[in-house]
Amino acid sequence: METRPLGDVGHDSSVLTFGTIALDFLDQDDADRMVEDVLDAGVNHFDVAPTYGDAERKLAPKLAEHRDEIFLGCKTQERTYYGAWGELQKSLDRLGTDSIDLYQFHAVTRYDELDTITGDYHPEMSQGEHDPGALQAFKDAKEEGLIDHIGLTSHGDPSLIRAAIERIPELESVMFPFNYTLDSKAGPEYDYRSVLDLAQERGLGTLCIKGFAKQPWSDDLPEDERPYATWYEPYDEKDDLVDCLRYALSQGMTSIPSAGDPQLVPAILDAATAYEPLNEDEEARLLEAGRTNESPVPDP
């Protein structure tokens, strides 16, 4: 599988990142087999989070066997210093590892979250209320060797992600939505292309969430009747999955996390191992198709 430099991190990531939330839906034996299959296909970048059910614990056995082969990304939705520090310790324990390669502020969608992360003080706060913020916890953890690199993930407004890049110079990667449906639409709320451009300008690795998203699930379809355990309705036909992967990678994204349902992982692995860039006519075809699609990105 092709690899690409993850920005200026110093690691070459496979063009597919394994979204380990898929492990949460499997028993341990099947989870172990899936990790081996993913590694055999050439994937070297794994993504996990404490909010992904039992994914951390189910990854742990094979992580211990293959730690040197896996660039491990983990995340926290804690925004304060002690919240982030405590959750990092719990993730290290569940994963059974001494360090995490890429630790990320997860799902940042509001400016007040960004203020808390960076520890920005506001006049209306009392001194006792002020918290140094999760960023300081990340910096301290990096100094202690508990994490190696700092990143951010967001499905929020593109302007917020750009602001985070500007305000957190320690960022080394950013994970954000990108697909041909979003790229085909006009308007600032769809302008994730500007995030990609700024990230590349700053030397950040770029990780593409919702790369395989087709549209939001229908409000008329109960959650327990959805055919896939994903936050959005995914493409599931082989040719469509190939198109999705080829589009995002052809625009210069570093890597695309696989869709969260384990049923989709084998076909996505096949698409990634056979990756070839789009030509201009193929790109134009997808952009034209995307203009009539509904955005799969939820309102923050």
Describe the crossing of helices 81-95 and 55-65 by its angle, rounded to 10 degrees.
Answer: 60
- What b/e string do you get for 60-91 counting C-beta neighbours within 10 Å, with b at 16 or more? bebbeeeeeebbbbbbbbbbbbebbbebbeeb
Q: Which fold has domain 3-290?
A: TIM Barrel (3.20.20)
| 198-221: average pLDDT | 96
Is the per-residue pLDDT at 121 higher than 90? no
Residue appearing with tokens 């690409």: 4
DSSP of 113-147: HHHHHHT---TTS-GGG----HHHHHHHHHHTTSE
Q: 15 has which bridge partners?
A: none
Give me the pLDDT at residue 120, please: 81
pLDDT of the residue at 299: 64
pLDDT of residue 125: 53
pLDDT band at 25 (very low <50, low <70, confident <90, very high): very high
Tokens of 191: 């302008």
pLDDT value at position 131?
87
pLDDT of residue 129: 63
- Please report the pLDDT score of residue 208 as a whole number: 97
| Among the ranges given (45-59, 127-141, 147-161, 211-225), the one the predictor scored with the smallest mean pLDDT | 127-141
Is residue 217's pLDDT more than 70?
yes
The whole model's pTM is what?
Answer: 0.96
Mean of the pLDDT values across residues 1-6? 98
User: Residue 212: its pLDDT value, please?
Assistant: 97
230-259 confidence digits (pLDDT tens): 999 999 999 999 999 999 999 999 999 999
The C-alpha atoms of residue 67 and residue 262 are separated, in whole angstroms, by: 22
The tokens for 186 are 């006009």
Q: pLDDT at residue 206 above 80?
A: yes
Mean pLDDT computed over every residue of the chain: 95
pLDDT at 116: 94
Across the range 91-116, mean pLDDT stands at 97
* Res. 89 pLDDT band, cuts 50 70 90: very high
b/e map 225-257, b = 16+ CB within 10 Å? eeebbbbbbbbbeeeebbbbbbbbbbbebbbbb
pLDDT of residue 124: 54
* In contact, 17 and 102? CB cutoff 8 Å: no
Tell me: pLDDT of 164 over 80: yes
DSSP letter (8 states) at residue 294: P
Q: What percent of the chain has pLDDT above 90?
A: 95
* DSSP conformational letter for 180: H
Domain boundaries along the sequence of the chain = 3-290
